[in-house]
Structure 1
Amino acid sequence: MVEHARNSRLSRRSVLVTPAAVAGGAVLSGSASAPEKAGVVRQITLYAEPLPGDLYGYGLAPGEATIPGPLLEIYEGDTLEIELVNNTDKRLSIHAHGVDYDVNSDGSPLNDSFNEPGETRTYTWRSRKQVDIGGNRFLPGTAGYWHYHDHALGNDHGTIGIQKGLYGGLIVRRRGDLIPDRQFTVVFNEMLINNKKAPNTPMFEARQGERVEFVCIGHGNLPHTFHLHAHRWADTRTGMLTGANDPSPVIDNKNLDPGSSFGFQVLAGEGVGPGAWMYHCHVQMHSDQGMVGLFLVRNPDGSMPPGAQAAIDRFRQHHHVAAPQADHSNHHG
């Protein structure tokens, strides 16, 4: 599914925005055109629901669950209170990476922190700024590209819940960070992207020159890499260099292992122009087997650039090879 012109710019206020859900989840934007005071408490309700195909998802309203779930966004120093409504017949939870919480909001059965079927429970996540402790040393804050996922469906680690789609992205920004025009969540989960395989993987869309933010998340048991054609970013917290002499490497491919996450911003088509550009896992057997999607950069006026539709058609008609069968024979002689 393609995100169309109606999603041309994300809200810059603290409101809920609902882009085309299959293309990366809805967005809870904590960004603002004018800085807000620190320590804001934001409250939302998420609904965990069954989806077709024996899958599950999180959504911002009943009947709106998606894979991945909504992209949640706050400022460093804010608190996010999530009322999770379990509209399934399974035990499940929500567990965050990168932020602070007490044991009651851990989301793990170890701490008796989960939702029984039909139960509603509140999880509280806190963020904090970095602290200067002197001597040019700092305690890190929580700003970064993080994620959340189930930790209770199927077993005490939520393995089945993650496998079936209970995950999403979390951004903690610093005030002053650049705000994107469009945001996309990309989850590599086993041999799938957002629980889909090419040619049914998400096609993300932007206009040339728009600021686009990718949130990349790894799940499952397999190591992956994330590669975006024709675009590159700095390997920093935001994907941007902080000065003319910033020595951070500039990359277009980065490891995306299970449980890891990163994000970055690019200007769509910068230096290369509009077109249908691939994103994919660069483990060759993984891309061969369908871990590939498209980033469609339209012309600045929203029209389709020459050759883009033909490229999309070729992608949809391309045959991806089946996964080889594992050899379970005894090789010890």
Structure 2
Amino acid sequence: MPQYSSDTRSQQSGVSRRSILTGTLAGLMVPTAALTLGADGAAAVGPGPIRPLGTTRHITVYAEPLPGGLHGYGLAPGKATIPGPLLEMWEGDTLQVELVNNTDKRLSIHPHGVDYTTESDGSPFNDSFNEPGETRTYTWRSHAQTQLDDGHWVPGTAGYWHYHDHAMDGEHGTAGLRAGLYGGLVVRRKGDILPDRTYTVVFNDMTINNKSAPDTPMFEANLGETVEFVAIGHGDQLHTFHLHAHRWANNRTGYLTGPDDPSQVIDTRDLNPGDSFGFQVKAGQAVGAGAWMYHCHVQFHSDGGMAGIFLVRNADGTMPAGAQEAIDRFHEHGGHTAGSTAGTDAETRTQTDAATHAEEGHTGH
């Protein structure tokens, strides 16, 4: 697959993937840990707690204020974004998240889908949070699917998950979620296909990544690239996520395992508060390059601004015929009214250029 420098990506794309495959040094670097997967991640069989056999890695995440009363997580001081950086683990890995609270608010980081003790719960209920100015380490573990001595199978951790604040201005972090303290968490299984580009899309009340159309993120890819979407729901509204002209299998990866795979093939899925799912598609497969819409299919939600663009460029990165005109029409759409969360450039850095995975050392790519 082509590999882009961050400069090239920022010039050709209005979107970004700030991602870390546990152990990389910066959000836009090629995830080098993916090149050294190592052990097969099988968990021990038998009674007692499931213990990861993978790598233990450490990252530092900074919680910081953003303009307009918003807040975000970032991988370096002054780099907070909405959504926060996409965090990735291999099934069996342990991730130590050192959270630095650079705000004047109590807050935390609470994960979904992974293993953790009460000390790393990230909730006031378990006295697990950061006071203003405090640094605290949260430990997240993962495990492969395991058969116990009694014959029962314990599911593995691999999946599309997420993390968020659970402590700002209350016991459940409602204010933190509304302010933008959330992000994606992907736990991969050995042998999983790695995407060329990954995008996090969060339906948060009546916004997408705390934006309303026409200011919602435009996700970009070249024709034929493998694109991964991590979809997350927050807030008080029930939603559906719909992507025009692309379909995926309703299973863990979005791929069919073979011609007899009974998984339902869909192009729309419920996305409600606390939900998360992900899938991969080949950009423009069977339909070609163009500007394709993604949106909530609750009609008054899409009319109210819950819509955005998935721009599939030609294979050489050039703009396909008619795409710019479609983008212009979207920006002039009278039914889309920008909400109060439109904000500034500092708030939209999350989706400003696309990241690339390295091919080496991976099966299935």
Query: TM-score, normalised to structure 1's length?
Result: 0.89
Q: Which residue of 2 aligns with 1:132?
A: 147
Of the candidates 229, 244, 247, which is equivalent to residue 232 of structure 1? 247
CA distance in 2, matches of 1:115, 1:140: 31
| C-alpha separation in 2, matches of 1:34 and 1:241 | 27
Identity, in percent, stands at 66
Aligned 1:9-48 pairs, distance under 5 A? 14-19=23-28, 29=31, 32-37=34-39, 38=41, 39-48=54-63
* Residue number in structure 1 paired with 2:191: 176
Q: What secondary structure is seen at the aligned counterpart in 1 of 2:73?
A: strand
TM alignment of 1:147-186, pairs within 5 A: 147-186=162-201
- The Cα of 1:243 is off from its aligned counterpart by 1.8
Show the counterpart of 1:281.
Answer: 296
Instruction: Say whether 1:85 aligns with 2:100.
Output: yes
What are the Cα deviations for residues 222-260 of structure 1, in whole angstroms up to 9, with x where unaligned?
100000000000000001111221101000000000000
Cα distance between partner residues in 2 of 1:11 and 1:119: 23
- Classify 1:321/1:214 alpha carbon distance in 2 versus 1 (closer, same or farther; 3 Å): closer
Moved more, 134-143 or 196-205: 134-143
- How many residues are paired up? 314
What is the rounded CA distance, in whole Å, between the counterparts of 2:290 and 2:178 in structure 1? 33
Question: Gapped runs of 5+ residues in structure 1?
Answer: 20-26, 324-333
Matches within 5 A, 1:1-333: 4-5=11-12, 14-19=23-28, 29=31, 32-37=34-39, 38=41, 39-133=54-148, 138-320=153-335
8 Å contact from structure 1 (residues 133, 139) kept in 2: yes
SS in 2 for 1:53: helix
Does the 8 Å CA contact 1:29/1:73 hold for their aligned counterparts?
Answer: no
Contact 1:3 1:205 (C-alpha < 8 Å) held by counterparts: no
Over 3 Å counting, the alpha-carbon distance change for 1:291 and 1:31 in structure 2 is farther
> Separation in 2 of the partners of 1:98 and 1:11?
17
CA distance in 2, matches of 1:242, 1:271: 19
What do residues 162-190 of structure 1 show as CA deviations (whole Å, max 9, x unaligned)?
A: 00000000000001000000000000000
In structure 1, C-alpha distance between the alignment counterparts of 2:207 and 2:257, rounded to whole Å = 34
The answer to whether the Cα contact below 8 Å between 2:239 and 2:298 also exists between their aligned partners in 1 is yes
SS of 2:34's equivalent in the other structure is coil
Pair 137,247 (structure 1): closer, same or farther in 2 beyond 3 Å: farther
Ranges in structure 2 where 5+ consecutive residues have no aligned partner = 1-8, 42-53, 339-365
Q: Give 1:319 deviation, angstroms.
A: 1.5
For 1:245 and 1:134, how far apart are their aligned partners in 2? Answer: 31
Cα offset for 1:100? 0.5
Q: Is the 8 A contact 2:21 2:87 kept in 1?
A: no
In structure 2, the partner of 1:327 is: none
Instruction: Report the residue type matching 1:35 in the other structure.
Output: L
> Is the contact made by 2:207 and 2:305 (CA closer than 8 Å) also made in structure 1?
yes
CA drift of 1:147 comes to: 0.2
Q: Structure 1 residues 35, 14: CA separation in 2 closer, same or farther (over 3 Å shift)? A: same
Q: Which structure has more RCO (C-alpha within 8 Å, separation ≥ 6)?
A: 2
The aligned amino acid for 1:265 is Q
| Cα distance, 1:233–1:31 mapped onto 2, change above 3 Å | farther
Runs of 4+ aligned residues of structure 1 deviating over 6 Å after TM superposition are 10-13
C-alpha contact (below 8 Å) 1:81/1:123 kept by paired residues: yes
Paired residue type of 1:141: G
